[in-house]
Structure 1
Amino acid sequence: MGLALQALAGRLALNVNESKMRSSSRPLASVAALFFMTGMAALIYEVLWLKELGLLFGNTSQAMATTLTAFFLGLAAGSYYWGRKVAAYREPLKLYAGLEVAVAVCAAGYFILLEAYGRIYPWVFDCCGNHAGLFTGVKFALSLTVLFPPAFFMGGTLPVLSHFAAPNRDDLGRNTALLYGVNTLGAVAGALLAGFYLPVWLGFRASYGLAMAISLTVAAGAYVLSKPHTEQSQAPIETGGIAFRPLAVIAFMSGLSMLALQVLWGRMFAQVLQNSVYTFALILSVFLICLALSGFLARWLMAVRFDAGKLLFAALMAGGLLVNIGPFVFLAWTDELHYIGSDVGWYAYLLQIAAPAAVIMGPPLLLLGMALPLSIRLAQNHGPSGGTLVGQLVGINTFGAIAGSIIAGFLILEWVGLWAGIRLVAVLYFLTAAYWFSRTTGMTSNYRQPGRSDSQNLFRSDWWSQRGRLYLPAICILLAVSVFDTGKLPLVKVDPVNEEESLLEFWESSAGTVAVIRRGEHLKIKVNNHYTLGGTGSFKLEQLTGSLPVALHREPRSVYILGLGTGITAGGVLEHPIQSLTVTELLNDVVAASDKYFGAYTNGLFYDPRVRVLHEDGRNYLRGAREKFDVMIGDLFVPWEAGTGSLYSLEHFRTVAERLNENGLFMQWLPAYQLSQVEFDVIARTFLEVFPYATVWRADFGALRPVLGLLGGKSNQDFAALSAGRHQKLLLHFAGDLVSIRSRFEQARLNTDDRPIIEFSAPVSQRSIKTGRQEWLVGAKLIELMEALQPSASDYMIDVPKPSKQWPQAGFNLQKAQWLRYQGLLKEAEQAMANYRKLLGEEEQ
């Protein structure tokens, strides 16, 4: 009878507990949904902040690092502060609502601050621009005032919700892991929205408003769900003898290693991708998906009562091994650094990126991402409240992330290199596992229940004895520097057989990988393995892109070039009797490569007292500098590469116009072989919005890889001086008046900083052209454009002597002949050449 009553009482207690669990799971699910939206809004904010501040401070690696550091500092401080405060609130969800409102309010103030900084930035540039360290410090201070306040309130959300979700301390680890995973999935959604759709659909400012609306919606939902919270026990309780300090070290090292991996993996994939806004967003999204899944995996393993301490050790060891073999898998997948998806369409290309990213990053992230949730589980009875504990560990983890991003970007890539850097991170995981083992030897955890299956008690096996775990990290480190030595893997692809290529030298830095390659008799510079900045094989073309714009000005004294490349273009400027030349180059290693290997082709560029070569973001420099120029030249850029679209924006063209002297000229060179008709029309319409006088020039006469130039000025352009001097033949390169065909561009959209059309359309066009759905502005499309420009060319020839009046038309016939010959229309090509010779005049026959 007694046993029956005990069984009945146990059954009633179980029913009551199940009822409580069901009732408590409903608000937890609702709160998790709100936290998903919090993560989504946070990533939208972050992407937009980094973009806007990049435009203001420049896209140098130092500027980006200072911006990220300011953001992470806010998150870390907020996590620690609000974690300590949450225990005093009886209704944590109201505090959560207040944090979301504060985020939205601070975000609204961002517009005011950014406008103010835009106004004072020229003054800051004047004061600090020549002192790199001081200038970086000022940028950090400005970033801090913009980003720290909203990030401070964002950082408090996880500790506050962890406090709400775990009135019973035994639930803290599991429920925090759930919230961690859900919030990270929300971040995935935010990264995809901000990286793929919102800037094009809404523009950056409206997208920012959407993120604020999401924050306020979350605040309203949390306020509605709020109710008095069950008090957690206040007395600190030790768990199985595990001190807090080792767990804090694990949290810090987890953040450091994870962010270092993100930086290094990002650089690794940059060697084989188009490196557009889409590919960056996709790689980030895969990374975050894997982290979210690691949170769910940690929750499940906690639920089935695996020993959390031994599970943490195993995850660090196995994850470190997978990190170390990742480069070998990457090189095998890409066939020694071949470009991924070279001949596939847009969606197939995205899939071909996602697949290796998931295979290489997924398994280690599933294991290593559990380090923070497991640390919270092991420490869940430390401290006065669950929120305080989570705030401390998450804050420490975020400080580690700051250290990891800086160490990877500025120390590892500069001093160790990509492949050896990944090995170093793997070794860090092995050392962290060894530290964890050394600090917990002999200690036991209370999170494994007796009576479980053998598979759940696998850590009892002799293999996991103390001696085995002592030697395992040392064995793995030995394997990392011997059998799996990544330090000797190739980083630059060369083809010595088919292309007669050989690698002369390469540099690694936080900004990218720069290589000088010999191909036959010629030299070229490559960035991140696939982007060619020019070479001696195109010497005449590159020299003309510098010489022609200067020749078009009557009295060129001061010249500015955005982009150094090989330096051949800048060397072409020095053929003229100018007084000063300023060149800005984003990559410092490109300057070193040009100086060391291309000096013979640059007319003494680096030793001419008239020349300044600056390591600076060109757009940023023009925005801050106050000097003006007679001639300004925008070099060739890959249109689909992230950040390039801003160099074709309305705001940038306006800045250029402000830096021109009264009769100044601006030449923007365009790679027509990398632009569809859509992108060209957008750039042309945007150009015409700023420059009332604009003409089109051809840098060469080929029809398959043509380079076009848009020449803009504040006053009408006069080419009479060309016909009388040694630059007479340059009239062959004149195509016509861009203003005369303005109607062709009326339907095109303006490319602005708020609506970056080029940055989002050019990558898609590149893939569409690969499948034949679109065409580059070459061949028949180019000839049709040149033909439309021909009638307007004569308007500029009024003051040109008669023998030279028809030279622009002659240049058109020469280009047309090249295209006809390529098509096999030899008779028509010969007729075009006959017209060319006739239009030149007898002295050129």
Structure 2
Amino acid sequence: MVTMVQSFDEVSKGRSVWIDAGIYLIFFLSGAAALIYEISWARQIGLLFGHTVHAASVVLASYFFGMAVGYLLGARWSTRLSPMLGYAIAETVVAVWAIIVPCLLAWSEASFIAAWMTNSSHFVQTLSRVVFCFVLLLPGTVALGVTLPMVAMVCSNHGKGQLSDPRNTRRVTRAYAINTTGALVGVLLATFYLLLHMGVTTSSYLAAGLSIFCSGIALLLHRLSPQEADEIAGQAKTSSQPHESESDGNRVPLPFWILVMIAGLSGFVTLGLQVLYTRMFSLVFHNSTYTFGIVIAVFLAALALGAALVGELMKKIAASHLIRWVTGASSLSIVVSTTLFVALTQLEYFSAGESFSSYLIGACGLVSLIVGPPILMLGMLLPLVWKLMGGKAGNVVGSLTAVNTLAAAGGAMIASFVMLPAIGLWESFVVMAGMVGVCSLYLSARSSRHWRRLVMSILFLVGSAAAINVPREVEEAQAESQGERIVQRWNSPYGWIDAVQLDDSEIFKIRQNLHYRFGRTGDNRREFRQAHIPLMLHPDPKEVLFMGLGTGLTAGGSIPHEGIQQIDVVELIPEVVEACRLLAQHNFNVIDHPRVKVFIDDCRHYLLGTDRQYDVIVSDLFVPWESESGYLYTTEHYQVARQRLKPGGHFCQWLPLFQLGEEEFEAIANSFASVFPHVTIWWAELHSSKPVIALVGMDTTLHISGEQLSQRLSSLWKSIGSTDVVMGDVKQFWELYQGDWRLRPDARLNSDEYPWVEFMTPVSNRQRRLLFPRVLLDYRDRVLRQLPREQAILVNGLK
């Protein structure tokens, strides 16, 4: 008889191992799929709404709201049907919806839908976007949210599924950590492989395949019997092990409302810190998709490690004691992390090694060192609250995680739109740390060790003072060494926007996040040239659009062209417009000029929403590796721009060759040529450290009257009061014409689906393959000098 019982125990244990493995496997894959969905959907929706901070916030809020609803529904349903069956249904729903989403987005581009979401009323526009995005994402995100309570119930097969049993808590926490690890893998896969090689939309289809696979495995587990799959994993241990209980000591139960508050606080602070840390690292990184992906990946890794670690710690330390230490340590580590960041970087651009891979490894190490400790400890809070709350696993995990998720969305938006603009970056870190610190002080007040509160308060005050003052001192020293003075700073949702003056001069520059410059005054001829060249190529421009404002020098360069009746300018960042106004004496007062109208919008979104047509559209220099601007070099963008040209109109795309490699330049040029039948290339600046070139697209061959061009140039220089010696007369102007670009056979095109330029330019940057200056001269001799010169014809010109 004893032998038969032992044999049954061995069989049960073997089956338990395989069932556990199946549960953890599908929850790992589910986490990976969820993050691939989020990244893919955010990009797809961003193309419709525009890549603005507000649009991104709408997508984030919609995604998190749907997840929260799913957690609540999962909490309700987890005790009413077999959790494995419920999990399988949820994964099937999200897979089906992932296939439908791209179709709905394509349908939404219809003119009547686009007009509804680009209403002239900001309130109507925002409301319509919120409603559309919530409806679009709700089915898929709700289904994703349902999976967590279902798995929590499956993992809680001791003590009737109560989290008061520490074995259940450890298994649920382990599953949560594995799911978060899957999310980490999903971010890395999407960032470093899927988006580039499989495509943005196709990546969501791959995630749908993972969801279907998870659904199939869940159904196989369910078929063991409706209840066996949920119970057998614990039978062997139940039969051979005594019931465990937490050694609490003198534990005083925490009130229900306190536990709910801590669940919300952990989500609010964690996502708020994600916004703040991303902003902080933008001060030293080049802000490519890769570096953003690294920050998110480290966040997820720390959260997963924190969840896994707390499951082990709860074996030895009571959750009620552990939560006091975790809140206190996380509060202090937040303020310390900012001081450590400044000490290590000195607010200079980060550099590590000579290759792209070494740069990524170094960046990952820096982010891990700064972000890892505070986020790891914050990652412990939610599992601790689950444990302290007790009750049915599915109900507790679903309900508290819903609170955590809704608060997380609120934390991200408040950090972006309230804290950063109102109090600044470093102060926002202190506020976030203070919120966790107050929670720790409250929890410590429930113990008899009053010295702990005093020590923590002193350490927090010292750390906060350092977190605020050290960065300011370093920045002031940096400005003094460079001979600069900040005239005015704006804390915008897009980062710091500074108007800076060079000491003892009338030279100003506008910069973002300390290093990236929108341009500078002084020798403004090249910036003005970026307006003069495309305008001179059109015989009689009346209505002109400039995409991108910067210092206002390029758009302002159009004002002396007296024949122009309307000048429209689109700028993404409102604070740049205000900074540009300070440079009025240098940019022809472009902001307040009666012929100029400035639109605060995403350039692509503006083109989609307007029905106005222009004689000339000028696209300024945009950083090609940033997701906020990289899509402005795609075939789809050029197709939209072409539709906004009048008959005979020109589209001019200025390219920063100092930020492009040979392959990226050709990808943009070929994408451009796939849309415009006739493409010519013109130089604005060749012999400098920052060479700039233009692609000018037209529907017909460009015929330029030499006599008219001469008259217009003379009138222009007279109006300005000085002559640009690079294009002072017809001969000099014509020398700027490099040749014609024709679409290459089997050319690689840069598209919304395959944003090749955005992902490859950071590699060329770190591998030192950008087109300046020696590399450019070689490329000019090999390629550009060999181009035909047939698409632009000078009539009655040179003699």
TM-score by length of 2: 0.89
Give the AA of the match of 1:615: I
Partner SS, residue 287 of structure 2: coil
Give the AA of the match of 2:134: L
CA distance in 2, matches of 1:291, 1:331: 24
Q: CA deviation at 1:94?
A: 1.2
Kindly indicate whether the alpha-carbon contact (under 8 Å) linking 1:324 and 1:486 is maintained by their aligned counterparts in 2.
no
Kindly indicate whether the alpha-carbon contact (under 8 Å) linking 2:680 and 2:792 is maintained by their aligned counterparts in 1.
no
CA distance in 2, matches of 1:567, 1:494: 29
2:619 aligns to what?
634
1:5 aligns to what?
none
Q: Give the one of 765, 778, 781 matched to 1:780.
A: 778
Q: Give the one of 9, 26, 49 matched to 1:34.
A: 26
| Change in 2 beyond 3 A, CA 1:141/1:730 | farther
* 2:492 maps to 1:502: no
Q: CA deviation at 1:134?
A: 2.6
2:364 aligns to what?
354
Q: Give the one of 180, 184, 188 matched to 1:184.
A: 180
Q: Deviations over 1:692-712 (max 9, x none)?
A: 111111113415422101111
Q: Give the one of 302, 318, 338 matched to 1:327.
A: 338
Kindly indicate whether the alpha-carbon contact (under 8 Å) linking 1:504 and 1:517 is maintained by their aligned counterparts in 2.
yes
Kindly indicate whether the alpha-carbon contact (under 8 Å) linking 1:165 and 1:175 is maintained by their aligned counterparts in 2.
yes
CA distance in 2, matches of 1:330, 1:555: 54
2:61 aligns to what?
69
CA distance in 1, matches of 2:673, 2:477: 42
| Change in 2 beyond 3 A, CA 1:737/1:539 | closer
| Mapping of residues 116-515 of structure 1, within 5 Å | 116-120=107-111, 123-124=114-115, 128-168=118-158, 169=162, 170=165, 171-226=167-222, 227-229=225-227, 241-302=253-314, 304-334=315-345, 336-341=346-351, 344-380=354-390, 382=391, 385-437=392-444, 441=446, 465-472=448-455, 474-482=457-465, 484-485=467-468, 489=472, 495-496=478-479, 499-515=482-498
1:584 aligns to what?
570
Q: Give the one of 595, 598, 602 matched to 1:617.
A: 602
Q: CA deviation at 1:754?
A: 0.5
Give the AA of the match of 1:511: Y
Partner SS, residue 591 of structure 2: helix
Q: CA deviation at 1:730?
A: 5.7
Give the AA of the match of 2:656: P
Q: Give the one of 685, 708, 729 matched to 1:700.
A: 685
Size of the aligned set, in residue pairs, is 755
Kindly indicate whether the alpha-carbon contact (under 8 Å) linking 1:686 and 1:751 is maintained by their aligned counterparts in 2.
yes
Q: CA deviation at 1:783?
A: 4.3
Kindly indicate whether the alpha-carbon contact (under 8 Å) linking 1:514 and 1:527 is maintained by their aligned counterparts in 2.
yes
Q: CA deviation at 1:761?
A: 0.9
CA distance in 2, matches of 1:504, 1:784: 45
Q: CA deviation at 1:471?
A: 3.9
CA distance in 2, matches of 1:484, 1:225: 52
1:746 aligns to what?
745
Partner SS, residue 370 of structure 1: helix
| Change in 2 beyond 3 A, CA 1:299/1:663 | same
| Change in 2 beyond 3 A, CA 1:759/1:81 | same
Give the AA of the match of 1:133: F
| Change in 2 beyond 3 A, CA 1:318/1:683 | same
Kindly indicate whether the alpha-carbon contact (under 8 Å) linking 1:704 and 1:779 is maintained by their aligned counterparts in 2.
no
| Change in 2 beyond 3 A, CA 1:14/1:366 | farther
1:43 aligns to what?
35
Kindly indicate whether the alpha-carbon contact (under 8 Å) linking 1:693 and 1:739 is maintained by their aligned counterparts in 2.
no
Q: CA deviation at 1:495?
A: 4.1
1:101 aligns to what?
92
1:800 aligns to what?
796
Q: Which runs of 5+ in 2 are unaligned?
A: 232-247, 715-727
| Change in 2 beyond 3 A, CA 1:47/1:775 | farther
Partner SS, residue 374 of structure 1: helix
Partner SS, residue 62 of structure 2: helix
Q: CA deviation at 1:739?
A: 7.8
2:721 aligns to what?
none
Q: CA deviation at 1:128?
A: 5.0
CA distance in 1, matches of 2:119, 2:652: 26
* RMSD, matched Cα: 2.8
Q: Give the one of 40, 50, 67 matched to 1:58.
A: 50
Q: Deviations over 1:85-143 (max 9, x none)?
A: 11011x21111010000001111220221012111466435x75432233122111111
Kindly indicate whether the alpha-carbon contact (under 8 Å) linking 1:722 and 1:731 is maintained by their aligned counterparts in 2.
no
Q: Greater CA radius of gyration, 1 or 2?
A: 1
Q: Give the one of 679, 686, 701 matched to 2:664.
A: 679
Kindly indicate whether the alpha-carbon contact (under 8 Å) linking 2:66 and 2:145 is maintained by their aligned counterparts in 1.
yes
Identity %: 32
Partner SS, residue 167 of structure 1: coil
1:602 aligns to what?
587
| Change in 2 beyond 3 A, CA 1:703/1:733 | farther
Q: CA deviation at 1:542?
A: 0.5
CA distance in 2, matches of 1:52, 1:134: 22
CA distance in 2, matches of 1:662, 1:111: 33
| Mapping of residues 527-606 of structure 1, within 5 Å | 527-577=512-562, 578-596=564-582, 598-606=583-591
CA distance in 2, matches of 1:122, 1:583: 25
Kindly indicate whether the alpha-carbon contact (under 8 Å) linking 2:66 and 2:138 is maintained by their aligned counterparts in 1.
yes
Give the AA of the match of 1:504: V
CA distance in 1, matches of 2:594, 2:368: 52
Kindly indicate whether the alpha-carbon contact (under 8 Å) linking 1:250 and 1:371 is maintained by their aligned counterparts in 2.
yes
Q: Deviations over 1:309-349 (max 9, x none)?
A: 11001000011101011111001111x11111166210110
CA distance in 2, matches of 1:365, 1:601: 46
CA distance in 1, matches of 2:407, 2:311: 23
CA distance in 1, matches of 2:573, 2:13: 58
Give the AA of the match of 1:325: V
Give the AA of the match of 1:564: L
Kindly indicate whether the alpha-carbon contact (under 8 Å) linking 1:77 and 1:152 is maintained by their aligned counterparts in 2.
yes
Give the AA of the match of 1:199: L
Q: CA deviation at 1:626?
A: 0.8
Q: Deviations over 1:459-497 (max 9, x none)?
A: xxxxx7342345455444433444554586368587456
CA distance in 2, matches of 1:664, 1:390: 60
Q: CA deviation at 1:248?
A: 0.9
CA distance in 1, matches of 2:730, 2:618: 17
| Change in 2 beyond 3 A, CA 1:687/1:419 | same
CA distance in 2, matches of 1:785, 1:590: 37
Kindly indicate whether the alpha-carbon contact (under 8 Å) linking 1:643 and 1:759 is maintained by their aligned counterparts in 2.
no
CA distance in 2, matches of 1:487, 1:14: 65
Q: Deviations over 1:262-308 (max 9, x none)?
A: 11001000111111111111111111111110011011112x23111
Q: CA deviation at 1:403?
A: 1.1
Q: CA deviation at 1:713?
A: 1.3
Kindly indicate whether the alpha-carbon contact (under 8 Å) linking 1:204 and 1:754 is maintained by their aligned counterparts in 2.
yes
Q: Give the one of 638, 645, 669 matched to 1:660.
A: 645
Give the AA of the match of 1:176: V
Q: CA deviation at 1:402?
A: 1.2
CA distance in 1, matches of 2:96, 2:735: 53
Between 277-286 and 242-251, report the one with greater CA deviation.
Answer: 242-251
| Change in 2 beyond 3 A, CA 1:484/1:181 | same
Kindly indicate whether the alpha-carbon contact (under 8 Å) linking 2:342 and 2:470 is maintained by their aligned counterparts in 1.
no
Give the AA of the match of 1:179: A
2:245 aligns to what?
none
